[in-house]
Amino acid sequence: MIGRRIVLAAGLALPGAAEAQSPWKGYYARGTRQREVRFAADDGTMLAGTLLLPAWSELQRVPGLVLVAGSGPTDRNGNNPLVPARIDTLRLIAARLAEAGIGTLRYDKRGIGASTQMPAGSAEQERFCAWDRFVDDVRAAHTELVRHDEIKRYATGLLGHSEGGLLVLAAAPTISESKPHSLVLAATPGRPYGEILRRQLRRGAPNLVDGVERVLGAIRTNGRPPSGLPAELQPLFPAYIGPFLQGAMAFDPAPVLAASPLSCLLLHGGADQQIVPMDDIQPLIDALGTRSAGGEALVAAGVSHNLKTVTGPGDPGFTGPLAPPVADKLAAWLRAVLGA
């Protein structure tokens, strides 16, 4: 059993150091087997994904992990068209884990990339984008993962980045066959969705807080944002988003983690500008301390929301390789827990 531990990683890697020292540079191209997959969600939505396996999985089975992307139109690789940079966080995680002997399945969320696109009608959009649908999709992805002969059905896990961490927390207790054995919550908030949104707005757009409070109140009560929203709030609250936010706001991650029997690793960047250490993540760290199940937390200094090394206060940490402390901890912890 992996014991409960919190590690505050000090130091800031020099630019270019990860490329020079990383043992897995180029491994993605040379030492892996990749398979494009399509699988059905509970409502018939088709989800498109990539199964990345170590090359030697032809000869012996390997542990496996489902990777779940964060909020917005973020694809299976961790890229978002609203961000003018190639982030690739999930693709890099998949490559690092393949080197460590662990297979991964990452997928385009519904409505994104090569998965089934958003329907046209407003009522259909609400159903398509409901919170429970996204949770169900995580379960469908895990079912797809263990369907492949190369994967050890008794050594699997779920990794969610940012909002994806909330989805894997919600999905894990619903998986009844070939249950996962571990959770990795990367840059995941420890407070309910509405509270995190308010905190983000207070930091970046305090003039919107009162208006957002009214919208969230309406969604909590009626399941829909009110009509006639001011122009500055319309991008935040499209008409179809009500059922998703209603479900997300009702989900409190810390008590769910406290009740989970799965080993859990928390990964956070000390320079995260979206989920701020330690305030936004402290409830998850506290939850680890209440459990008998194993767990560790790493808060890596100088690391961004996307798990990249930052070069200074103005660097959002979008590009480059995974920060070495994060990549190394993730690989070592999963190898120990899953027996890779």
pLDDT tens string 108-164: 999 999 999 999 999 999 999 999 999 999 999 999 999 999 999 999 999 999 999
3 state DSSP class of 217: helix
**DSSP state for residue 174 in the 8-state scheme:** G
Dist CA 79 CA 72 (whole Å): 10
Determine the distance from the C-alpha atom of residue 51 to the mean position of all C-alpha atoms in its chain, rounded to a whole number.
Answer: 17
Examine the domain organization and report whether 91 and 27 are in the same domain. Answer: yes
Examine the domain organization and report whether 243 and 173 are in the same domain. Answer: no
Examine the domain organization and report whether 158 and 30 are in the same domain. Answer: yes
Assess contact for 50 and 75: CB atoms under 8 A: no
CB count within 10 Å of CB 29 equals 8
Dist CA 269 CA 226 (whole Å): 36
Ramachandran assignment for 72, one of left (phi > 0), alpha (psi -120 to 50 degrees), beta (any other): left
Dist CA 323 CA 272 (whole Å): 13
Examine the domain organization and report whether 35 and 46 are in the same domain. Answer: yes
Higher-pLDDT residue of 317 and 59 is 317
CATH number reported for the structural domain that contains residue 20 in this entry: 3.40.50.1820
Examine the domain organization and report whether 241 and 325 are in the same domain. Answer: no
Examine the domain organization and report whether 237 and 260 are in the same domain. Answer: no
Query: What is the crossing angle of helices 242-249 and 209-222, to 10°?
Result: 90
Q: What is the CA radius of gyration of the chain?
A: 19
Predicted local distance difference test score (pLDDT) of residue 28? 41
Examine the domain organization and report whether 99 and 237 are in the same domain. Answer: no
Examine the domain organization and report whether 44 and 161 are in the same domain. Answer: yes
- Mean pLDDT, the chain, as a whole number? 90
pLDDT per position as a tens digit, 191-245: 999 899 888 888 888 998 899 899 999 999 999 998 888 888 888 888 899 999 9
Examine the domain organization and report whether 256 and 240 are in the same domain. Answer: no
Predicted local distance difference test score (pLDDT) of residue 287? 97
Examine the domain organization and report whether 116 and 235 are in the same domain. Answer: no
Examine the domain organization and report whether 169 and 282 are in the same domain. Answer: yes
pLDDT of 14 above 60: no
Examine the domain organization and report whether 134 and 31 are in the same domain. Answer: yes
> Which residues are CB-contacts of 298 (< 8 A; sequence separation ≥ 6)?
6, 7, 9, 265, 266, 267, 268, 325, 326, 329
Q: Long-range contacts: 119-126, Cβ < 8 Å, 24+?
A: 122/239, 122/240, 125/239, 125/240, 126/224, 126/240, 126/242, 126/243
Domain with 266, as residue range(s), is: 5-192+251-338
- How many structural domains is the chain composed of? 2
Model confidence at 30, in pLDDT bands (50, 70, 90)? low
**DSSP state for residue 176 in the 8-state scheme:** -
